[in-house]
Structure 1
Amino acid sequence: MMLFGKISWKFCSLKKLPWSYDSRPFWGWLNAVFNKYIMVDYECIRDVVPDRVASEWLLCCGAMVQSHGQDRWQKDYNHLPKSPLGKYKIQTIDATDSCIMNIGCDHLEGLQHLEKIQLSKCHYIEDSCLEKLGQFENLQKSILEMEITFCGNVTYKGIVALQHLRNLKQLLLHDLPGVKEKEKIVQVFETSLPSLNLKLDLK
């Protein structure tokens, strides 16, 4: 049984519609409401089914998840396996073109098996979200790879917060117009994560 009930994919897809610069405030408001609609149940995240809670939030926001031992990606909230709820452990998140934002990132706190996150064209991802990811103890242990590309609201402050992901092995940063301090980033990660494979193409 779904924790949040059946969701209309047509509603989930609203964020995919073409939008002009003038309509940006409206879509920002709508996506913020949508992130809040999937309420953060901290008891479920800590003690019950953290991977299920995170999967439902991510898929509702347009992201995809892949679980350990599974070849295929989960893309549709309504097609998530109904049981057992605690069986599937998220290994990879592909949030390309999704509407995830900081107010919903608490859903990721309980994940213990997440190894890779891809954030591409995530217009609502800001430094506060990356800082939050760097603070979650479970993610500090599990995350091995991250890709952050075409995210215009990310700056140096958010990138260097990832140094707290102490097992991070690969970090790809590409086309981030808000990040200018390439040399400083290299210095930070050379000191904090000397074994990190850091790839920068910041434009």
Structure 2
Amino acid sequence: MILPSISKGLLSVNSLLKTSNKPIVRPFWHWLNHVWNEYDPKRVEEVGPNRACAEWLLKCGAHVKFKNWGSYIVDFNKMPPGSFEAFKIEEIRAENACIMARGFEYFNGLKDVKSVKFINCELIDDTALAKLSYLRSSLEDLQLVFLPSVTDLGLTYLYLLENLKDLYLNYLPNVKDEKLAEKLLREKLPKCKVEFLQNPDEIKK
């Protein structure tokens, strides 16, 4: 499946910018982000939850790793060929990606995701973290780094992830009481190693 080109649309927007003083760039990208994050149940039915989720993530700039399939896939057009039922998402890394809560519906039905890393994703908010509960049966490792739309409330939804073994939080500027948040996470997830830093220069690999 080849992604439709939007280069002509971008060119026309750039041309318009040269002749207009109106701030249209942000509305355009806001609209495009919503389009890319639109949940498509028909696509899930056609290709299964894992491939549909991978298509959404790659389209939005995130990377995915399938079980028994080498390294992370970063190119939408280089997903494994063959039966979609043979490939299950095991790891997700979203850095500077435009994923948002409405797209997190694609996590519903995934049973093999063990590791999720969200780094510098400004559109991930409390609602998005609530929908991580779709992965509660398999998720073991979670990293949240510089997510400016996440608040103290959003972190309480992580209590649902009872199988977590490693939780790494760093530089969440709208979490107002990180010490209390860390204390409660340790209490609610007693089997999980919890780290909460406020150092954007120290990103766990």
**Structure 2-normalised TM-score?**
0.82
Q: Does 1:101 align with 2:107?
A: no
**Number of residue pairs the alignment of both structures matches:** 184
Which one has the largest radius of gyration?
2
User: In the TM superposition, what is the alpha-carbon distance from 1:9 to its structure 2 partner?
Assistant: 6.6
Counterpart Cα distance in 1 of 2:189 and 2:104: 24
Counterpart Cα distance in 1 of 2:158 and 2:121: 17
The residue number in structure 2 matching 1:27 is 29
Q: Does 1:61 align with 2:98?
A: no
The 3 A distance-change label for structure 1 pair 32 and 146 is: same
The residue number in structure 1 matching 2:130 is 131
The residue number in structure 2 matching 1:169 is 165
Q: Does 1:159 align with 2:183?
A: no
User: In the TM superposition, what is the alpha-carbon distance from 1:82 to its structure 2 partner?
Assistant: 2.8
Residue range with higher mean Cα deviation, 162-171 or 65-74: 65-74
User: Residues 70-94 of structure 1: CA distance to partner in whole angstroms, max 9, x if unpaired?
Assistant: 2211111111123111111111000
RMSD of aligned Cα (Å):
2.1
Residue range with higher mean Cα deviation, 175-184 or 27-36: 27-36
The residue number in structure 1 matching 2:42 is 41
Q: Does 1:143 align with 2:145?
A: no
SS in 2 for 1:129: helix
User: In the TM superposition, what is the alpha-carbon distance from 1:172 to its structure 2 partner?
Assistant: 0.8
The 3 A distance-change label for structure 1 pair 141 and 172 is: same
SS in 2 for 1:30: helix
Query: Letter of the aligned partner of 1:116 in structure 2?
Result: S
The residue number in structure 2 matching 1:7 is 3
Counterpart Cα distance in 2 of 1:71 and 1:43: 24
Query: Letter of the aligned partner of 1:44 in structure 2?
Result: E
User: In the TM superposition, what is the alpha-carbon distance from 1:190 to its structure 2 partner?
Assistant: 2.4
Q: Does 1:183 align with 2:186?
A: no
Given that 1:40 and 1:104 are in contact with CA atoms closer than 8 Å, whether structure 2 keeps it comes out as no
The 3 A distance-change label for structure 1 pair 82 and 70 is: closer
Query: Letter of the aligned partner of 2:40 in structure 1?
Result: M
Query: Letter of the aligned partner of 1:30 in structure 2?
Result: L
Given that 2:36 and 2:56 are in contact with CA atoms closer than 8 Å, whether structure 1 keeps it comes out as no
Query: Letter of the aligned partner of 1:130 in structure 2?
Result: L
The residue number in structure 2 matching 1:91 is 90
Given that 1:180 and 1:202 are in contact with CA atoms closer than 8 Å, whether structure 2 keeps it comes out as no
User: In the TM superposition, what is the alpha-carbon distance from 1:174 to its structure 2 partner?
Assistant: 0.7
Q: Percent identity?
A: 32
The residue number in structure 2 matching 1:194 is 190
Counterpart Cα distance in 1 of 2:35 and 2:91: 25
- 5+ long unaligned stretches in structure 2: 11-22, 200-205
The 3 A distance-change label for structure 1 pair 41 and 191 is: farther
User: In the TM superposition, what is the alpha-carbon distance from 1:43 to its structure 2 partner?
Assistant: 5.8
SS in 2 for 1:147: strand
SS in 2 for 1:32: helix
User: Residues 148-192 of structure 1: CA distance to partner in whole angstroms, max 9, x if unpaired?
Assistant: 001110111111211100000111111110112122212322221
**Structure 1-normalised TM-score?**
0.83
User: In the TM superposition, what is the alpha-carbon distance from 1:10 to its structure 2 partner?
Assistant: 6.2
